[in-house]
A and B are shown apart, each in its own frame.
Chain A
Amino acid sequence: KAGVTQTPRYLIKTRGQQVTLSCSPISGHRSVSWYQQTPGQGLQFLFEYFSETQRNKGNFPGRFSGRQFSNSRSEMNVSTLELGDSALYLCASRPGTVEDTQYFGPGTRLTVL
């Protein structure tokens, strides 16, 4: 089975721009979660989607949004980028229940200049 894939792997943007990151889950997995990783804050949960519905959300401003499509692929969008948004964005998928293990993709490294 193919693992979780994320595109693009690297991205450079400037302040004020917006960005869209994509995540394709493992086949058969209906849940996709997004995490932000920075040296200062560590790993932080952004949100989770299950069957096209946001099931849980972390403490991030409204500039961070996401969606999930009927094929379980997910996108996250960050609008009006700030320097502090520079981070590794990780996507994880799991079959769907809370006790399922989350499997992670390689991440998208976003640099905001």
Chain B
Amino acid sequence: AQKVTQAQTEISVVEKEDVTLDCVYETRDTTYYLFWYKQPPSGELVFLIRRNSFDEQNEISGRYSWNFQKSTSSFNFTITASQVVDSAVYFCALSMDSNYQLIWGAGTKLIIKP
């Protein structure tokens, strides 16, 4: 079975703190794709990053970084020096070659206090 678990329902931090959002996935497929999306209060899902199963390189984009570890089936997302504008719900998602749909985690609501 395929599954994505985001155990953190809500995280609240003060601005400028670093914060890590956890994502654990399950799949038996050898080729799969992992995604992070951000959903601000407006509702639109904004694509942040995609990782292929055969590419375990970590990625950094400005204040954002992602740590992909196949050994622990995790794809964690870290925001460094958080800002109020980072407040949103963040979703981790999984897709496989055998299935065209995205399988979603429950989302983590991130609150950044000024």
Contacts and interface: CB of A to CB of B under 8 A. Distances in A.
B35 A101 contact: yes
A53 B16 CA distance: 48
Interface bin, chain B = 20 to 34
Contacts of A104: 37, 44-47
Given A43-B91, A99-B52, A101-B50, A58 B43 contact: no
Contacts of A33: 100-102
Contacts of A55: 100
B68 interface: no
B97 to A, nearest CB: 6
Contacts of B52: 99
Nearest to B52: A99
A25 interface: no
Nearest to A102: B102
B33 interface: yes
A106 interface: yes
B75 interface: no
A103 B50 CA distance: 12
Interface residues of A, number: 24
Contact of B43 (A45, A48, A107): A107
Contact of A98 (B35, B91, B97, B104): B97
B42 interface: yes
Interface string A51-78: 0000110100000000000000000000
Given A98-B95, A99-B52, A101-B50, A45 B44 contact: no
Given A43-B91, A56-B99, A58-B101, A101 B47 contact: yes
Interface of A: 31, 33, 35, 42-45, 48, 55-56, 58, 88, 90, 92, 98-99, 101-107, 109
The 10 closest A-B pairs by CB, nearest first: A104-B45, A45-B101, A43-B104, A56-B100, A106-B44, A107-B43, A101-B50, A42-B106, A48-B100, A98-B100
6 contacts: A35-B102, A42-B107, A92-B102, A99-B33, A99-B95, A104-B47
